[in-house]
Amino acid sequence: MSFSGLALIGCEKLAGIYGVNEGIIDAKGTGVQHLFYNGFGRDLIHSAITLIKDGDKIYYGNRVESLKQHPVHMKPVSSHAKNGYIFTDQFECGEFNKTEKAYAWGDANLGFDIEVENKTGQEREIEIYAYVILQPQAGRKLKKQTAAIIAAGEDCNIGIQFADANSHSMLTEGPTGFIYRLTSSLLQNDLRTANVEVADDMLCGVLLGRKFTLPANGSVNASWSMTFADNQPQLVAQLASNSKLNYQNSAVVYWEAYLAAGHLLNVDEPHFDRVNQVAIKSAVINGFVPADLTGFYYADGLPCFYPRDAMMVAKGFLKSGHLVEAKQVIEYLRAKDLNPLGEFYQRFDGNGKVSEGANNNVAKQLDSIGYYLRMVREYQQVSGEKLATDDEIIALAKVIIDAEQKFGLVGPEGGVNEGVFGAAFITSSNMFIYGGLLAAMEMLGAHPFVAAIRTANEQIFTGIERTYIDGQGYKYGYVTYHNELIHKYDTPQYFGLLYGFPDTEKMRLTHQYLLKNANFYEHGIGYSEQEYHHGAWTFNTAACAQYAYKIGDVETYKNKLNWLKLHRNGYGLMPEAFSADEKHICYINPLVWACAEIVSMLHIGDKV
């Protein structure tokens, strides 16, 4: 099974979504969408894609438009990510076929290629354009250059470049995101060519391109690029430099160097590994891990940073040998303010400001302390550098020691699933906390405070073991408003061993129970027994695979790996979850943590 191809596209200072088979910006955009530069405080792009005009019709993304009828949506004949980073789609468009490619490279560059193949025996003239819809930005001014258009603004300066372009069109669209003026002007042969100043709340559109002679039964190719910079002198210099480049070759050099800097790719699954390594690198800017770029998990209209998701992505970087990126993510969280109780806040918005009150309004997330301490320790083991001081480690450990307890478990908090039963004392969270405290003891060595941490961990371990039921395994835990054990499974327990909880016989028995009772579509693994995204989840299935590998259950590892391969999207990236009610429906496609968990899974062993 393969879901619509949607990709995480980005490089050092860019992060966004790309797809020509599904709109993300409230189902209105196509191509590059939700693009951010040097941070996540401003969404820059509504749509960026190559557009073809052939007679009285225009073709862009999966859309065909004319003045005579509503847009028609096409399905690509094929979608894939060449080399893991060149997102490629082929469409049959009646009298011609088109192959579109998009990629990112360097500090802040996007490249677009298109091949148009004539299926008729008649030569004719077509027009090919860079089609770009820009989100509102203060101080926006659009002006023509020789073969480029510069979109200046207070937050970012954007250059659009198309070799030998002689047709420049710029206009304001509107404030709503429903786009029509630019395409209508093209269909009516009424392109606006004057420079434009745009109101702060208005989207604006750009067409940049030229006419091509399409040979009978032959083809033409075109390429264009977008470049982003802090100021206009930097932008002009970069545009001049880029004009001498082969864009796609530049992307190959950039991404092959990045991949080579890490560990060798998984020899059995090189492409699955490549595309998901590229995805998590593409999503992260300066250590900020956006939980999602499709628009679903946003805070105040911007991507948000969850400490938990971020540490999972740091693990993916670390396991694949990308220590620079792993360190950036860990240090981003380290630099954030703690709440008055000394805990990590639940989430931060795209500007890095605290934004509490997310899912179920369960603000406390004690499990994040466990992930963080474990990642600091694992980074130290690999690099020799400890990213937290002893005082910082002790302060976080003390938060756990001072936390409320219920039958030995600390809480109440939301845990991985953010409180589906409300704030609770959760078995899986306590497994991660146990592993984090164990990491703290290892980093503190002979420090006197280690004794207090050890005592707390012994109590936590006893509390965890108390939630085990013969024949069922470890159960969910306890809520604040009742005292009985919640008799629900909770597959995030698979992450326990991965974050330092010991390999207990009871967890092995829980594993066997979950394989039989938490599965969807045979080898997909569910979350908790909940209605939210009812069905199999990517990171739970991947965590099960990693747990199985660690205890020597290689058959289960292979089964989960193969199942996940069958459920990747058209470009090879992973959605968050898959509907149990309709096998062709997935949720949040793609999700950053899901892609990272695939990387961790593929790098858990040398070869399977």
- The segment(s) of the chain belonging to CATH 1.50.10.10 are 262-602
Q: pTM for the whole thing? A: 0.96
Q: What pLDDT score was predicted for residue 607? A: 47
Beta strands (DSSP E) in 309-463 are 404-406, 409-411, 424-426
CA–CA distances in Å: residue 559 to residues 104, 208, 413, 573: 34, 49, 33, 18
Question: According to CATH, what is the number of the domain 7-256?
Answer: 2.70.98.10
Alpha helices in 243-297 (DSSP H): 247-261, 270-283
Starting at the edge strand found earlier in the chain, the sheet holding 157-162 runs 78-82, 86-92, 96-105, 109-118, 219-229, 157-162, 148-152, 141-144, 196-197
Distance (Å, whole) CA 135 – CA 155: 12
User: Three-class SS of residue 435?
Assistant: helix
102-135: buried (b, 16+ CB within 10 Å) or exposed (e) per residue?
bbbbbbbbbbbbbebbbeeeeeeebbbbbbbbbb
pLDDT at 3: 87
Q: Are 331 and 385 in contact (CB under 8 A)?
A: no
Structure confidence at residue 69 (pLDDT): 83
Element holding 529 (H helix, E strand)? none
* pLDDT for 489: 94
Determine the Cα–Cα distance for residues 463 and 473; give it in Å rounded to an integer: 14
C-alpha distance from residue 39 to each of 15, 35, 302 (Å): 9, 10, 11
Contact predicate 364/414, CB 8 Å: yes
Mean pLDDT of successive 10-residue stretches along the chain, which has 608 residues: 88 98 76 97 97 97 92 94 98 98 99 99 98 96 95 96 96 89 93 90 96 98 98 96 95 98 90 98 99 90 94 98 99 97 94 76 82 99 98 99 98 80 92 99 98 99 98 96 94 98 98 97 89 89 98 97 97 96 92 98 75
Please give the pLDDT value at position 608. Answer: 45
CA atoms of 53 and 60, how far apart (whole Å):
9
Q: How far apart, in Å, are the Cα atoms of 313 and each of 345, 370, 539?
A: 18, 15, 11
Question: What is the identity of the amino acid at 571?
Answer: Y
Sign of the Cα torsion 355, 359, 363, 368 reads: negative
* Nearest-angstrom CA–CA distance, 226 and 555: 46
- How many angstroms separate the CA atoms of 522 and 228, rounded? 46
What are the start and end residues of each CATH 2.70.98.10 domain in the chain? 7-256
DSSP-derived pairing of the beta strands 72-73 and 298-299: unpaired
> Which CATH topology does 262-602 take?
Glycosyltransferase (1.50.10)
Structure tokens at 573: 């990236």
Euclidean distance between CA atoms 15 and 284, whole angstroms: 7
Tokens of 166: 């002689």
